[in-house]
Structure 1
Amino acid sequence: MKSKLRRSTQQFACEMARLANKFWQFIAQKVALKMDRIDLKILEALQQDGRLSNADLAQRVSLSPSPCLRRVKQLEESGVIKRYVALLDAAKLGLGLQAYVTVTLEKRRDSQIQAFHAAVSSWPEVLGCYALTGDMDYLLQVVADDLEHFSRFLMDRLLKQEGVANVKSSFVLQAIKNTTALSLQERLL
């Protein structure tokens, strides 16, 4: 009995310590998110060129390298900078067809939703999946080699997914604007 009580007390103490740690991480994150003009300039520069050296970045934002690096590390640790990536030209890689596909599920049961999320996450053709308000449940951003590849994706994967009731596709004819950069200009003023 005493060993069970000791174990449950230890488990409780561990859980409380874990929750306290999460709480302090949350507080630290909120404090860390207070950014000034220099932080925003750093973010603006890194959005344009994520491969900037720290020395070049520091020069662009009028800081010395050490404080600049410290600020970048803080932005990374707080989650403002999620990751660094290379942006690829899909057409030059043979992925010449881009489509936006709206999806409606039949009954929207939790099991169907979870299965749909898992399936979409595993399909390499899907670049983005967004839950929507309104008539449709999801918007998928899809890339494919060509119309035949897209048709196979649609017929063999999406339409065979349990719970999918309705699908509508729109093909991209021309990209007028395509950016990953968030607008920080008004925050800099």
Structure 2
Amino acid sequence: MSVHIDQVDRKILKLLQEDARMGIKTIAAQLNMTKTPVYERIKRLEKAGVITKYVALIDRKKISPSMIVFLSGALKVSAFEQIQEFYDAVEKIPEITACYLMGGENDFLLKVIVKDLDAYNLFYAQKIATLPRVGYIRSSFVLNETKNSTALPFFDE
């Protein structure tokens, strides 16, 4: 369900996407507003589910060596409800950081983060190969990450 977002809400959301720790006082100053209406708007956006949570974005390269692999493939299902079996299994695997239902050539796209190629081989054999309802899977290995953003673009209405 869509929530009405005006230009002030968009500016608040953009600022929070840049720095979720930005204080109300700072946001209010940047928008040339007082703190109370900014606070009320943020609370309204949280209550409406527009802002779902605040997180720390971590540079994976500074934590430990890792690689990103995208897996795409097809599902073997005879009813749409059977797709939920696949989703439930994917949800339990921490190495899978994103899952998308796709239209077109592939039914799904998974973003996977593992330590290295040996770890991926083991991960594939133990977790991916056992996923329910999978017809086939293709792996694509990321060679260079040139952009990785969590910030959503805003489109004019």
Same fold? TM cut 0.5: yes
Q: How far apart are 1:111 and its partner, in Å?
A: 6.5
Matched, 1:131 2:96: no
TM-score by length of 2: 0.90
- Aligned CA-pair RMSD: 2.0
Matched, 1:102 2:72: yes
- Structure 1, unmatched stretches of 5+, are 1-25
Matched, 1:67 2:55: no
CA distance 1:112–1:155, change in 2 (3 Å)? farther
CA distance 1:112–1:153, change in 2 (3 Å)? farther
Q: Which one has a larger percent helix, Structure 1 or Structure 2?
A: 1
Specify the SS of the correspondent of 1:63. coil
Q: How far apart are 1:49 and its partner, in Å?
A: 0.4
CA distance 1:154–1:112, change in 2 (3 Å)? farther
CA distance 1:66–1:150, change in 2 (3 Å)? same
Q: How far apart are 1:119 and its partner, in Å?
A: 1.0
Specify the SS of the correspondent of 2:10. helix
Query: For residue 100 of structure 1, what is the amino acid of its counterpart?
Result: F
| Runs of at least 4 residues off by over 4 Å | 108-112
Give 1:39-188 correspondences, 5 Å limit.
39-109=9-79, 112-184=82-154, 187=156
Which deviates further from its counterpart, 92-101 or 135-144? 92-101
TM-score by length of 1: 0.76
Q: State the percentage of identical aligned residues.
A: 34
- Structure 2, unmatched stretches of 5+, are none
Q: How far apart are 1:178 and its partner, in Å?
A: 1.1
Can you list the C-alpha shifts for 1:58-104, whole angstroms capped at 9, x where unaligned? Answer: 11111101111011111111111111111111222225110110021
Higher Cα Rg, which structure: 1
CA distance 1:162–1:79, change in 2 (3 Å)? closer
Specify the SS of the correspondent of 2:121. helix
Q: Which residue of 2 aligns with 1:23?
A: none
Q: Is the 8 A contact 2:73 2:107 kept in 1?
A: yes
